[in-house]
Chain A
Amino acid sequence: MTPSDRDATGLLTRPDHFVQLVSPTGERRADPEYDPWVADIDADALARLYRDMAIVRRLDAEATALQRQGELGLWPPLAGQEAAQIGSARALRDDDFVFSSYREHAVAWCRGVGPAELLTVWRGSAASGWNPFEHAVAVPQIIIGAQALHATGYAMGLTWDGSDAASIAYFGDGATSEGDVNEAFVFASSFDAPVVFFCQNNQWAISEPVGLQSKQHLARRADGFGMPGIRVDGNDVLAVLAATRIALDRARRGKGPTLIEAVTYRMGPHTTADDPKRYRTDDELADWRTRDPLARVLALLAATGTDTDALEHEVAEEAARAAAELRTAVTTIPDPEPMSVFDHVYAEPNTHLARQRDRYARYLAMYDETDAAASGAGGGAR
């Protein structure tokens, strides 16, 4: 063990291997360091985590189908990353604040974001689907890594306000090459900001493998910034929950940021516009299928006496109902009014935009009058 394997409190962070509490075949691996953090997760609690993962997997599949059917313009599927997103999101308190990228649908769902809110942006109906302050989830971020700085600034503000809440920044392996992410590490470390940097290393940044972003495990980078880095099996919901709880606990105790590298895999395309067959093999996909996040939880539950057939059946029915709600919700999202294109550019009155808005309204009205004249209702009005 090298010194970098331990943080200031002696916490083992294991950046070279990864923390795994449930093996892909469902064996519970004892871990004296991480087990205490999930001691409360009994069979019922584990079944609830399974339920979360099964429902978001079903919602994700439904959204992908809705895109294929033309109801959504685009969808970035989360398939394969259920444990990473559910395990981390279920570690959060209501007053913690999430700054996510564009793929954290499961995190948003855990925070109470509704089906129509989830789909609004992807249908192209509005610039955002929910009020960030209602769910403590920021506007999802498409500029890669930019949100890491926002989470850090928010966390600095928490400290100045004397709060023991924390923020969490979700980003991918590709984002770790961005300046913003590295600058966020510097600021968070220097100011002991209570932020968790949650990197879902899903192996691929569109077509670029993680090896192009880093020659070493991403969690190891934490050491250079003076914070602990935890490398965790991102397909193990229990290990992710434990790691995130550890990082949040550090944040709440004023110990500053933690980088978590959740090693997972994007089973689907980058988005519905992507064709992963062009850059990765069927063998690789088949290999990761054996490390499925849901299957291992079912296997563990079965081994410890839960009637998993009943559980699977019950959860599948619930997931089907949620998917049906999602399908109904998409049709309830209103189409935007043309003049709303000018809304919310500024918080205060703006003379230039007011003039432009007025002119466009006149332009649209000209066609209304033409239509009215054509129908005989407003002839000669001009």
Chain B
Amino acid sequence: MTALTLGRAINEGMRRALAGDDRVVLMGEDIGTLGGVFRVTDGLKAEFGPNRVVDTPLSEAGIVGTAVGLAYRGFRPVVEIQFDGFIYPGFDQLVAQVAKLHYRSRGNVRMPLTIRVPFGGGIGAAEHHSESPEAYFAHTAGLRVVACSNPADAYVMVQQAIASDDPVLFFEPKRRYHVKGEVDLDASLADAKPMGLATSVATGDDVTLVTYGALVQTARDAAIAAAEDGISIEVIDLRSLAPIDYESVAESVRRTGRLVVAHEAGEQGGLGGELIAGITERCFDYLEAAPVRVTGHDIPYPPAKLERHHLPDLDRILDGVDRVLGRPNSLSGVEAGAR
């Protein structure tokens, strides 16, 4: 085992993928000579050359669209979108082309693209640098969407995403890039947990708390804090946002009877609503209380000095836990129908 930051773990995962398959190519803005604005591709151009790690012109549609052509040619492109909020110029190529070409070609043309997206807030950045656009892509048939939360998972999941014959949106929690964890660099991919499955990262009996990306660490901290009050929280790292591993979540909810979902993205049309609907269909008879969402507000991402009033943090998550348990909380006294 080696202690690596999350960013470095993704770097090592891509290094292994580049070394193992000469059709893997990395494309993006500033990913070569600079090593990426977060240094996630550091050293890869020097090691594999400019035709494997390609600095591209500044055009997200161009990067994704040429990656489609490369996939036609049998390549396995790994595209970096520099920041979450920069993905929209590439949206048409992702949604109308990447997502649909396997279907449109009746299975003849595979689109084994990996689209890496640093996502989420908490770094005090300028506008368009802190967004959580994952729901757009989870809504799009033909795409798979995953989010990693820790170095060990990131190392394995990026390799699984690259090896997948389906296009994968790979969301990286940018505020956790520098968090360290133990990684087994020699781990066999064949034995690894599939990226489509959720993971229980803290066991508990009273509440099931589901999240992904940067908030997984926040949720674990919340579980530790709640334990001091005698509340036992099971924290599930969802990992795959499309498709959602409902079975793992349902297994937990059938034990706890209570569900809280947290994400940085806004509430409306978000993954939380989708997850709760899916779990309610499967676990209605087990639920002891209405499931609770703790999310970003439905606002454009706010200026840096306001982001702590937007992002779910430990206290807001615990308030959600109190709500689902019927303990005193921010909505105590509000009529049930108005909550």
Contacts and interface: CB of A to CB of B under 8 A. Distances in A.
Nearest to B108: A131
Contact of B65 (A97, A139, A149): A149
Contacts, number: 143
Interface in B282-323: none
Given A97-B72, A186-B57, A352-B244, A150 B196 contact: no
B67 interface: yes
A272 interface: no
Contact of B105 (A128, A184, A187): A128
Name, among B69, B73, B92, B96, the residue most crowded by chain A CB atoms within 10 Å (CB to CB). Answer: B69
B240 to A, nearest CB: 9
Contacts of A160: 25, 51, 75
B102 interface: yes
B165 interface: yes
Interface in A86-138: 97, 99, 126-128, 131-133, 138
Contacts of A167: 69
- Most chain B CB atoms below 10 A, which of A132, A148, A183: A183
A158 interface: yes
A143 B97 contact: yes
A161 interface: yes
Given A128-B104, A128-B106, A157-B74, A346 B69 contact: no
Nearest to B101: A139
B196 A346 contact: no
Contacts of B68: 149-150, 153
Contact of B69 (A127, A143, A150, A347): A150
A11 to B, nearest CB: 25
Contacts of B92: 143, 146, 180
A343 B61 CA distance: 27
A41 B62 CA distance: 38
Interface string B29-52: 000000000000000000000010
Contacts of A154: 69-70, 72-73
A186 B62 contact: yes
B238 interface: no
Interface string B7-39: 000000000000000000100000000000000
A102 to B, nearest CB: 12
Interface string A188-219: 00100000000000000000000000000000
Interface in B65-114: 65-75, 89, 92-93, 96-97, 101-110, 112
Nearest to A160: B51
B69 A149 contact: yes
B141 interface: yes
A146 B166 contact: no
B242 interface: yes
A13 interface: no
Interface residues of B, number: 46
Given A146-B96, A184-B65, A351 B243 contact: yes
B66 A146 contact: no
B200 interface: no
A353 B65 contact: no
Contacts of A157: 69-70, 72-75
Contacts of A161: 73
Contact of B108 (A132, A184, A351): A132
Interface in A144-165: 146, 148-158, 160-161
Contacts of B108: 128, 131-133
A246 to B, nearest CB: 23
Nearest to A99: B69
A180 B91 CA distance: 12
A281 interface: no
A351 B248 CA distance: 13
A381 interface: no
- A152, A344, A351 — most chain B CB neighbours (10 Å): A344
B245 interface: yes
B199 interface: no
A59 B164 CA distance: 41
A139 B166 CA distance: 18
B280 interface: no
Contact of B57 (A133, A143, A190): A190
B106 A184 contact: no
A190 B59 CA distance: 13
B242 A352 contact: yes
Residue of A148, A153, A187, A343 contacting most chain B CB atoms (<10 Å): A153
B56 interface: yes
B120 interface: no
25 contacts: A127-B106, A132-B72, A139-B101, A143-B96, A143-B97, A150-B66, A157-B74, A160-B25, A160-B75, A180-B92, A183-B62, A184-B62, A187-B56, A187-B57, A187-B66, A343-B106, A343-B107, A346-B102, A346-B142, A346-B166, A347-B110, A347-B166, A348-B166, A350-B243, A353-B243
Please list the 8 inter-chain residue pairs (A to B) with the smallest Cβ-Cβ separation, ordered nearest first. A153-B69, A149-B65, A153-B66, A157-B73, A352-B243, A154-B69, A183-B62, A347-B165
Interface of B: 25, 51, 56-57, 59, 61-62, 64-75, 89, 92-93, 96-97, 101-110, 112, 141-142, 144, 164-166, 196, 242-245
